[in-house]
Structure 1
Amino acid sequence: MLPTELIDNICVYLSPNDLASSARVSSTFRHVAQRVLYRHVALDSFSRNLSCVLTLAHSPQLARNVRSFAIRLNQFSGHLNAFYRSLAVALSNMSELSSLEVFTDQAASWVMRNDQIYPRLRRLACSFHLDPNVVHFLNKTHNVVELEVESIPPSSQKADIHLRSEALPRLAQFTGSSHAAQIIVPGRPIEHIHLNSGDLTEEVAENLAKSTAPILVLGAATSSHSVSLIGTLTRCMEHLVHLRIVTTYNFSDAPDATYFANIADALTSLPDLQTCEIWGLHWISSKKSFYDESRVWQSEGFNTNNLMADGNFLDNISDLIFPY
């Protein structure tokens, strides 16, 4: 019989169908093939293998092999509560998860509520509101580094949100709404913030600056075009490396030279800034002079097409990705 380590190396290169066949060769092959087959599981509404959820629900031993699990279901896919109950059990069985993505019906956040501890979990992304079920999950997952969660729930559920101050002690990256960010970010070492909904105001910026780590990356949308907002960012997030702010403000007239000069002056107070986009404008920096290493910023040119489309903001900011 081949050594287990060699079998494991062989199985890594096999297709799922071949792994399933290998699992029937012998008990040794079965354990290795199943470990590889279930290591990374990705399911969606068009998958023919959604029955995998039932398998993982009924076999805790198999579920413990899963290291990354992603499920994305169309909200109109019409899955019954019985399927979601199986999903809840399957998730509770996956004790060794390092990455979890759950994008399903927002009303099914209860699938996250279990007593399992996930000591290896570092990434969590879900389509759920930051409701009591999600908060219960977050309160016991102490090693999460990356988190994506939707907005806070309707006011009727807000009273039940009790995120412990000691929860998420290693969280470094947050993606979600500005409302959820104000609950998650303060008091935690978050360096990267991507607001995919909600309004970035000066008050929100002040709250986000309560992160216990310097904020290095910020991407957000705002209804403002105020220079004072940029001034607030440069004052309370002085270590920014990458900044992108888009706006819903309808510019009836192109800003004048003074407007741009005020933004440029504000940006000079960010010594670490490398890339910057504000109101749809890309800003570039250069040294003041051969003898002066400090940076000066200027816009590449005002383009209203970047800010407006028939008077409406291009509201898809899911591409808040910075070139670093």
Structure 2
Amino acid sequence: MLTVGLNSCPNSQSFLIQLPPEIISQIVDYCPSSSILALSNVCKSMQEVGVRSLYRHLSFTKASRFLKCCYALIRNNGAASSVRGLQINLVDRHILFAFFQILATVLRRLHNLQCLEVLHDGPGFQWALESCYFPHLSLLRTRLPLTQDLINFLSRHSSTISELHLDGQSSIFTLSHVPITLPNLTSFTGNPGFVRFIVQRQDKPRLSSVHMTSLNIMDLEEVEIIEAMKHLQDVAGETLRTVTIVGSGFAGPLARHASNYLTNLKVLGLMHLSFMEIELFSTEQLCEEVKLLLPNLPQLQRLIMGRMHSVSTQTQTLDFAEGHKLVVEFSSICPGLDFVCLPDDTEWNRIRIPNNGSSYFYIWFPEVSQFSVASAWQLLDILCAEGRKYPSWLSLLKLILKEAVGKWYLNEARENASNSENGPDIQESIRTAIETLLNEIDKRVEGN
């Protein structure tokens, strides 16, 4: 192997600078901020590269730190033109008006901004946005209420916004304004009450996902929910494939009417929101409610369930036998399902297995990372019972379990070896356990 030191090359100091700018930018992107700062002091060319990397995506939670960056953006045209993403999530609740004056000055300089997130509901932010226009803005996420100022901002960017997140707590029914047309909108997140105002028919249908996750989602009247779901089906039924819903349980009006009208969904996300302990539905109860929704969704491929708690609580975890029974029941209702995440966060994938030439059969298999010692043996019983129907599956079962369970045991061995003086003994016991499991698989394969 021929090794050439950088210092032995002619003009070695300019070697890095002579690389294509795209290559230099990719290299710098892998460096920590401290290294980029040091690199920026090497020469003018490296300073330009460092500025582009440091200011590409900005995120702030403190007003004082943000103001320091604002001064740099005002003084340095290169820094301002480098900003592609800006997130403002300030913990300060009381901000002086002078801050918004500086913010407005800075925002007007960000001509290449593509993603803007204002995760604060202070009215001063609307004033700062009032005279701004970003020619390349594609994503807007804000907790600002949907007032006339924000509507005007959306109208100015109607031709560029493709992802819109409106988490504000206002209602559109108090607004006297025509609906906003966003011809390139692909994803909308917010209160379903905003749907009829924001989501309109597109010349080239693009809207593929709607996430109804605003915190005041449960304040809507049922008639408003029905009108919103009908509207979605009318204007986006051809392209809408993903819907996420937050609610107390999965049998509420929003989930029911979404399944009634949006029958072409491929992905359904359901999030149970608990504010008090009495609202902690059991996993079995949530799954029973889901079964009532599935008959209306024959095209469904992915079902994702979860929980959101206002207080720390312990979620009931199903064993693999219970989880397997549930996902099999779901797939019997929706034959196209190939992925299910249960409310206890266990994930199941449906695997297609060849059987006798061109035919196939399917079997549900849990995420490997969720294995435990006890569940591995339980899973072996489940899969062997399924596999007896299809002898060709049993040999493949051995390979899958050998790799999956083997990885789990080995990861546990490494963790215990680093935290215990008895590491070698633990590793030996794990090897023995793996051999025992594989021998049991061999016996069952031979028995069938």
Cα distance, 1:293 vs structure 2: 4.8
1:58/1:90 contact within 8 Å kept: no
SS in 1 for 2:86: strand
**Which letter maps to 1:90?**
V
Which of 203, 210, 231 lines up with 1:210 in the alignment? 231
Which of 106, 113, 138 lines up with 1:122 in the alignment? 138
Which of 189, 195, 201 lines up with 2:213 in the alignment? 195
Give me the whole-angstrom Cα distance separating, in 2, the residues matched to 1:153 and 1:140: 21
Give me the whole-angstrom Cα distance separating, in 2, the residues matched to 1:185 and 1:236: 16
**Which letter maps to 1:80?**
L
2:162/2:185 contact within 8 Å kept: yes
Give me the whole-angstrom Cα distance separating, in 1, the residues matched to 2:291 and 2:226: 19
Alignment match, 2:295:
268
Cα distance, 1:231 vs structure 2: 4.7
Cα distance, 1:97 vs structure 2: 1.8
2:62/2:92 contact within 8 Å kept: no
TM-score by length of 1: 0.71
Per-residue CA shift, 1:238-274, capped at 9, x if unaligned?
Answer: 023214164789999x9xxxxx989745521211333
Give me the whole-angstrom Cα distance separating, in 2, the residues matched to 1:202 and 1:245: 22
Alignment match, 1:307:
none
**Which letter maps to 1:214?**
L
Which of 246, 254, 262 lines up with 1:220 in the alignment? 246
**Which letter maps to 2:262?**
M
Note closer, same or farther for the CA distance 1:20–1:49 as it changes in structure 2 (3 Å cut): farther
1:147/1:175 contact within 8 Å kept: yes
SS in 2 for 1:268: helix
**Which letter maps to 2:225?**
V
Q: Taking CA–CA contacts closer than 8 Å with sequence separation of 6 or more, which of the two structures ends up with the larger relative contact order?
A: 1
Which of 192, 195, 198 lines up with 1:178 in the alignment? 192
Q: How many residues align?
A: 286
1:175/1:195 contact within 8 Å kept: yes
1:243/1:276 contact within 8 Å kept: yes
2:110/2:134 contact within 8 Å kept: no
Which of 158, 161, 168 lines up with 2:175 in the alignment? 158
2:229/2:258 contact within 8 Å kept: no
2:107/2:132 contact within 8 Å kept: no
Give me the whole-angstrom Cα distance separating, in 2, the residues matched to 1:184 and 1:243: 21
What are the equivalent positions in structure 2 for 1:48-127 lying under 5 Å apart? 48=65, 50-76=67-93, 78-108=94-124, 109-119=126-136, 121-127=137-143
- Tell me, which stretches of 5 or more residues in structure 1 are unaligned? 255-259, 302-324
Alignment match, 1:316:
none
Cα distance, 1:65 vs structure 2: 0.4
Give the % identical residues: 20
Cα distance, 1:85 vs structure 2: 1.4
Alignment match, 2:162:
145
Give me the whole-angstrom Cα distance separating, in 1, the residues matched to 2:31 and 2:288: 59
2:251/2:290 contact within 8 Å kept: no
Cα distance, 1:154 vs structure 2: 7.1
- Tell me, which stretches of 5 or more residues in structure 2 are unaligned? 1-13, 282-286, 309-315, 317-322, 344-448
Note closer, same or farther for the CA distance 1:180–1:57 as it changes in structure 2 (3 Å cut): farther
